[in-house]
Structure 1
Amino acid sequence: MGKVRKTKPSRVRRSEPVDNTSDEEEQLPVDSKENALQTILDQLQAADVEEKYCGLQTLALMIENPENVPQVMARGLVKAAAPLLLDQASSVRNATAGTLRNLSTVAMDVCDAMMEQDIMTPVTCFFHEHAESWVPDPGSKTKDEDIDTFIQCVNLLLNLCESSDLAIKYLGQSRILDILPRYLDLGTFNSDIAIAVLQCLFVVVEDNPTAMSKIKTNAERQLETLLRLEGNDPTVLLLKTLSAGVIINTCGNKTTLPPGVISEIVSILGTTLSVDHRLICSQLSSSVPLSDDSGKVEPPKGKAAQQLESQLKSVLEILTAQQSAIEIIANICSCEDNDEPLGNDSSESDDGEEDICENGDESVLAEDKLPPEVMEALISLEVFEKVWARTQLPAQNVLLILKEYEGSQLIYKRLLTLQTRALLCINNLLSTIPIENIGGVNGVYKIWVDVGKLVFKQDTDNVNLSESATAVMRAALDKIKFRENGNTSDSSVFSDLALSDIEIMLNGIKVCQVPEIRANLIRMIGILALLLVNNLNDVTSNVIVVITEFILEQAHKENEVWVLAEAVDTLVDLYSEDETDILAAKVNLVEKLTSLAPIFKNKIRQQKRLPKEYKVLVSTASSNLPRFIKYKKDRLSRL
């Protein structure tokens, strides 16, 4: 059956907004918004430095509200502001870089709109004119400002390239990738600069042959030096982890790296993930000032303020390093042919055959796709356990404290992102690590139950969390189903599963508004029913009937043709077993699928523009359905 591929862990390295507004410029004009936009435009085009700076500050304040962004883009303010990256005044360059970087974090489509307003031309010119030979001048009054401007521009470049293939193309045609490696020299530049550059390279090099070649030529020595830094303080761990990611992405193929390098990289990732993120966040919450009865917070001053700032930075660096480590591991463990670039998930799929990757004429288990030294390192360093630990958030009171204090809100957001990325990584690890090395059937079943609590027993509006969690639940059942090359005889772990537990899942599907999550859940309950087929009794038969009737009902209501195809595919998989003939007759499966077939065909005609992987799923389900109906009808006629 055709399957939907696993979603490759999307990058959540998009640099967060920075506060570059000053106290004096925090009031918007009293005029209407339209007049305010015109005023900003006039100020940006003025000759006076103060006028330009004031316009940038007002623009920065305006885009803090995402609702204002469409009007900002429509008035062409990016096209007016971006050339100020090349302004002679350091303060103007800094304000421009910070404002544009903040704007690029709003949404992917905003980056596309920025590209339409020719943002890449001044960004490229900034690096060509200001970065090719620049070294921070210790005696300069604007040293810190200039360093911040460079970092903001690097982060802006990262966001644009992460969102736009056109930005990647322009990057390859520029000299930027020849310039950036010089900033990895910690003897000349500080760690903040090196970290920003590494984060950018981590994104732009992946699946980009032009960038791979340039970085391999220009940065190989610097990356190896950073990889072997001594010490395990947060900054060093982040530098080493990002360097490991760039090295892997630069090579593009894990089999071309010497075994010793692969083992060294996995060891670094394991060390990064060994830091107890819950503990350091709990310790940080003890240092964060709390609000008084009136809701006011008295921020620390003097030495206490410096200590808190240092602690905040260290915790953020650890969480960033762990997120990067998890993304690297997820890409290492993606199911792919060895001759494809690392991170290419075009051969991935999500169930049934998902543990099997096609390689020419052979079908190879995903567990056998990793080089032995990589598998050995992952198992010996207990990487699965360490990634799983990242799916667990700190205590609720700790989260509330971090969320309420302005200085730690970014850490709160990073914790949620880390949890989501860890779940996506677990999804890949489940397909890769042999089941005996992750606790056997009982261990995987416990993962399924624990993740289910995130999806069904907590009120959450975090769509990314729900999607990644349901993907893990689906992968966990696949792991149980296809262990030992397809032996599904033991479903005893589900013997205590009550119909009420199933109903919670079914209700979750009914109210779900996200197609990807619906598809995961439909496939998951179908796999669950298939597991129960091997242990048929009155209770399990009743559960299978309830699941079947629910999927059929949902299929008739489903608007997305590819989700409907997933439902059809699930039912075909479930009832392909001959042991299900009696149950098929009980639910009138053939008649109901026969009535569903024309609805399915009609939706296929209506929804022709689909991503490639969905087209494969729809096509396969469409061709299988009539054959299956004919086959099952023949079998049921003999009952």
Structure 2
Amino acid sequence: MGKSKNKKFKRPQFSADGLPVTVVKETEDECVDSPAGEMLEKLQSPSADVREYACASISQMVQLRQVIPAFLQRDAIRCLGPLLLDRSLAVRETAAGALRNLSACGGFEVCDDMVKQDVLTPLAALLRECHGGFDSPAPAEPRTELRHSVEDVANEAVHLLWNLCESSSRAMSVFNKSGLLDVLLQCLARHPHNVELALSAAHCLQTVTEENSDLLGALNFSVLQGLESVLLSPQTDMAHVLLRTLVAGTMWNLKSSMPSEWQAHALGAIVETLGGALELDSGTLIPELREAEEARRRAAVEGGAAADDRDGTEDMEEEGNEEAEGDCKARKGRSSCKRDDDFSDLQPLKEVELREASALLTAQQTSLEIIVNMCCSDDPSDDEWEETSSSDESEICPDGIADGNSSLLSPLCLSAEVHSALVNFRIPEKVLRKTEFPSSVAMEVCGTTPAWKSLTKKMQRVQCRALTCLHNILSTMDMEALGGASGLRALADHLSKLVFSTPEIPTKEEFLEAVISALRSLLQMMASKNIPQCVSPQQLMSLSEAASHCDTVSVRVNAMAILGITGSMLAREADSADSLQLIGNALLEVASKDPNMMVCGEALDALFDVFADGKEAERAARNIGLLPALKSLQPVFKAKLRKEGKGKYSPDQLCVLDNIKVNLRRFIGYLGTLERSCTA
């Protein structure tokens, strides 16, 4: 159904399956002294210590999704909101932390409900007060408890704002009218001495500047200068690497509002920053950081500080250990593919080395996501690639059959400036290195240390993002920028090893979706340049079988497209009929049995490509009985389209499916003509 569209990453959002208010309904007469009711009652206590304890307890409790409805039914949002302006800074901080965890674990509906219940009014007031606290004269001591608390409160508040703006368009609208941009920039500017606060602000800035035309119009030159100063900061720790990466993403979001004389300069700085993050070798750095952590602990023990060291590490070494009541600040990660039941990132990372390792991997993931978007056209349907098709009326050949090369379109065009920047800073080469399997040494180090186990998923996610990035690069850059024909063949060998190096095809859906998209794009480019394919028919069958068991529709669609691309190339070769029969039978099986019509349509489209022309294709088509099989499938496809179409598929998808229905009728006519000519 056409060349595979390049992907686009929205800023990572909470799962669409976020917990609705209606889940796990409780009875109306449930007693008020339930854990939820008891904690909410304590919020009204005249004692600041009791209010702080209640907020901290709620912050912990709402990390268990099944308890969230109990809090929502008892109006927890309206109870916690006013405490953002409590006279006690400690209560403000823990109230913001409780709302932050509720927003992180509750999903879209809970975040939207928070905005409807006007939590942004006290939140905005709190942030403005914190902003004023930043500008107050510094006390004699370098860091008093008051100043420390103001920044901690601000960090919780900014993180709550980030969560809400990620998940609620209402929150974005309120943000645009609230004048909070200056507060975020002020938090960002505090990075030399409080990088945690700056990181929260940078995450939030990247979110609120994405596709937000209302905000872009209000930006001025001083904002760009402030962002650039952070981008050029000299600190080399991993937290600042992540900070600069996030700021680079924000500047990319703002590119259309930059003065023309700034754009080229800014683009170079952005791409250089992203390339710098990708150059770092996590396979070397993570074991080094883990070794440094162990060395620091040994030194502490030898220096008589064993007790303090144990206090700081016991929580991290016990998996699943709950946070202490006074330390309930959620730590929400930035994973666009974060699983619905995975809240491991909510736990604070107390060890500096572990924070550094986590920041490194997050910086690399974020860099790859930004490059994905840089290599993406402005077509709003780019992330809905399966909704488009090349099999429209304009591509019907004189004989009435869709052009067999219809899926081999030329790449989308990047602007010359972006293309040059990516090539000059060797971005394709750096992305390719990140597509390799994570370092076995780093995986072993993390897998054998409980506190570091969460990093194994992060390393795997970096690989998946790199593969998606490679898919977009292949879709938008020319062959010469990728090393020419020899570069494509080397890349084909590399992707083949990722997919076929083990007896079983990898089945993790995130990896399979990413690698199969990259493989499809590569095979399209190779076919368009008449470079011999790298996947054997037997490997194709294994890939098709693995994809058929995958719930992700795009995986199954891409598998069918790969069968079509490879089959159409094989049809040009001598003695390929047996291989074409294997491919044809697999496509017919999917076209007649897959429950999703887009997958069925892609299988039919692939059949049109594979059997469009050539003696080998004609022989294989007769051997598998392609004509009678399609005649039997045709009424079923039409009936299913009529029955399910409007209720299940978008208008664009229906257009694609309707084109396939037309091409199916014409292809049956074409095969009938061939059969009659053979018997004449």
TM-score (norm. length: structure 1): 0.82
Partners of 2:71 and 2:549 lie apart in 1 by 36
Secondary structure at the counterpart of residue 608 of structure 1: helix
Shift, 1:595, TM fit: 2.2
Identify the residue that residue 105 of structure 1 maps to in structure 2.
104
Residues of 1 paired with 2:457 and 2:146: CA distance? 31
Where 1:334 maps in the other structure, the secondary structure is coil
Instruction: Assess, with a 3 A threshold, how the Cα gap between structure 1 residues 46 and 368 changes in structure 2: closer, same or farther.
Output: same
Q: Displacement, 1:278?
A: 1.2
**CA 1:47–1:214: 2 relative to 1, 3 Å:** farther
Match of 1:534, SS? Answer: coil
Q: Aligned pair in 2 of structure 1 residues 284, 243: CA closer, same or farther (>3 Å)?
A: same
Where 2:145 maps in the other structure, the secondary structure is coil
Residues 346, 390 of structure 1: CA spacing in aligned structure 2 closer, same or farther, 3 A cutoff? Answer: closer
Go from structure 1 to structure 2 and tell me whether the alpha carbon gap of 1:573 and 1:34 turns closer, same or farther (over 3 Å shift): farther
Which residue does the alignment assign to 1:382?
Answer: 426
Name the residue aligned to 2:577. 541
Aligned to 2:608: 572
For the pair 1:9 / 2:12, whether they are aligned, the reply is no
Residue 41 of structure 2 corresponds to 42
Letter paired with 2:671: K
Aligned match of 1:263 = 268
Change (3 A) 1:156 1:544: farther
Could you tell me how far apart the structure 2 residues matched to 1:622 and 1:162 are? Answer: 40
Query: What is the deviation of 1:157?
Result: 1.9
Query: Cα gap change, 1:412/1:92 in structure 2, threshold over 3 Å: closer, same or farther?
Result: farther
Aligned counterpart, 1:470: 516
Q: Indicate whether 1:445 and 2:495 are aligned.
A: no
Match of 1:600 among 637, 642, 650: 637
Distance 1:218 1:599 in 2: 63
CA distance in 2, matches of 1:619, 1:83: 55
Residue 514, structure 1, aligned to residue 514, structure 2: no
Instruction: Report SS of the residue matched to 1:630.
Output: helix
Distance in 1 separating the partners of 2:63 and 2:170: 26
Any conservation in 2 of the 1:526–1:571 contact (CA below 8 Å)?
yes
Contact 2:590 2:599 survives alignment (8 Å): no
Q: Pick from 164, 172, 175: which aligns with 1:171?
A: 175
Secondary structure of the equivalent of 2:9?
A: coil
Alpha-carbon RMSD: 3.7
Per-residue CA distance 1:67-110 (angstroms, 9 max, x = gap): 33344444432333233222221112211222222233334454
User: Is the deviation greater in 202-211 or in 311-320?
Assistant: 311-320
- 1:393: Cα distance to partner? 4.4
Shift in CA distance, 214/413, structure 1 to aligned 2, threshold 3 Å: farther
1:76 to 1:470, Cα distance in 2 relative to 1, 3 A: farther
Where relative contact order (Cα < 8 A, 6+ residues apart) is larger, the structure is 2
**Quick one: which of 455, 475, 478 aligns to 1:411?**
455
Quick check: 616-625 or 306-315, which moved more? 306-315
Match of 1:293 in 2: none
SS state of the match for residue 436, structure 2? coil
Shift of 1:274: 1.0
CA deviation digits over 1:208-251, x for unaligned, max 9? Answer: 11122234455111012222223544344333322222111012
* 2:318 counterpart residue number: none
Amino acid paired to 2:282: H
The answer for the alignment partner of 2:532 in structure 1 is: 491
Work out the CA distance in 2 between the residues paired with 1:377 and 1:4: 24
| Cα distance change, pair 637–128 in 1 and its aligned pair in 2 (3 A) | farther
Residue 429 of structure 1, CA deviation: 1.0
**In 1, Cα distance between the equivalents of 2:259 and 2:384?**
17
Amino acid of the structure 2 residue aligned with 1:77: A
1:296 is aligned to: none
Map 1:279-318 to 2 at 5 A. Answer: 279-287=284-292, 309-318=351-360
Shift of 1:417: 2.6
Contact 1:438–1:444 (8 Å) recurs in 2: no
CA contact (8 A) 1:391 1:419 kept: yes
1-structure distance, mates of 2:420, 2:453 = 38
The farther-off stretch of 126-135 and 62-71 is 126-135
User: Are residues 630 and 344 of structure 1, via their aligned partners in 2, closer, same or farther at CA, if it must alter by over 3 Å?
Assistant: closer
Q: Does structure 2 conserve the Cα–Cα contact (< 8 Å) formed by 1:281 and 1:394?
A: no
Shift of the 200–453 alpha-carbon distance from structure 1 to 2, 3 Å rule, reads farther
- Show the counterpart of 1:552: 588
Structure 1 residue 276: deviation in Å? 0.7
Distance 1:498 1:515, change over 3 A: closer
Contact 1:244 1:265 in 2 (8 A): yes
| Structure 1 CA distance for aligned equivalents of residues 445 and 552 of structure 2 | 31
Question: Are 1:367 and 1:431, in contact at CA under 8 Å, matched by a contact in 2?
Answer: yes
Q: Is the 8 A contact 2:112 2:171 kept in 1?
A: no
Residues 121-270 of structure 1: pairs in structure 2 closer than 5 A:
121-131=121-131, 134-135=134-135, 140-186=144-190, 190-216=194-220, 219-230=223-234, 232-252=236-256, 258-270=263-275
Write out per-residue CA displacement over residues 127-178 of structure 1, whole angstroms, 9 at most, x where no aligned residue: 3444366447655424333322222222222222222222222221221124
What is the deviation of 1:425? Answer: 0.9
Distance (whole Å) between structure 2 residues aligned to residue 524 and residue 364 of structure 1: 12
Asked if 1:561 corresponds to 2:594, the answer is no
**1:422 alignment partner in structure 2:** 466
Q: Distance in 2 between matches of 1:254 and 1:532?
A: 50
Residue in 2 that maps onto 1:323: 365
With over 3 angstroms needed to count, the CA separation of the structure-2 counterparts of 1:141 and 1:232, relative to structure 1, is closer
Look up the match of 1:624. Answer: 663
Offset of residue 327 of structure 1: 1.5
Deviations 1:234-289 (A, max 9, x none): 34433332222211101248995633332232222212211111111122333456
Distance 1:377 1:145 in 2: 43
Structure 1 runs not aligned, ≥5 long: 16-30, 291-298, 338-342, 355-362
The residue identity in structure 2 corresponding to 1:123 is L
Report the Cα offset of residue 34 of structure 1: 8.2
Specify the alignment match of 1:54 in structure 2.
53
> 129-138 or 434-443, which moves further after superposition?
129-138
Residues 1:235 and 1:621: Cα distance change in structure 2 (over 3 Å):
same
State the 1:312 CA deviation: 2.2
Deviation of residue 395 (structure 1)? 3.6
Deviation at 1:508, TM superposition (A): 0.6
Contact persistence 1:45–1:52 (CA under 8 A) = yes
Q: Post-superposition shift, 1:498? A: 5.3
| Residues 577 and 450 (structure 1), Cα distance of their counterparts in 2 relative to 1, 3 Å cut | same
Residues 1:598 and 1:407: Cα distance change in structure 2 (over 3 Å):
same
* C-alpha spacing 1:615/1:98, structure 2 compared with 1 (3 Å): farther
Question: 2-side partners of 1:3 and 1:33: how far apart?
Answer: 59
Decide whether the 8 Å contact of 2:255 with 2:263 is kept in 1: no
TM-score, normalised by the number of residues in structure 2:
0.77
Q: Give the SS at the match of 1:214.
A: coil
Give deviations 1:338-388, integer Å, cap 9, x for gaps. xxxxx983796799969xxxxxxxx99765722334323322332112112
State the alpha-carbon separation in 1 of the partners of residues 634 and 307 from structure 2: 70
Counterpart of 2:75 in structure 1 is 76
Q: Which residue of 1 aligns with 2:320?
A: none
- What SS does the corresponding residue of 2:254 show, helix, strand or coil? helix
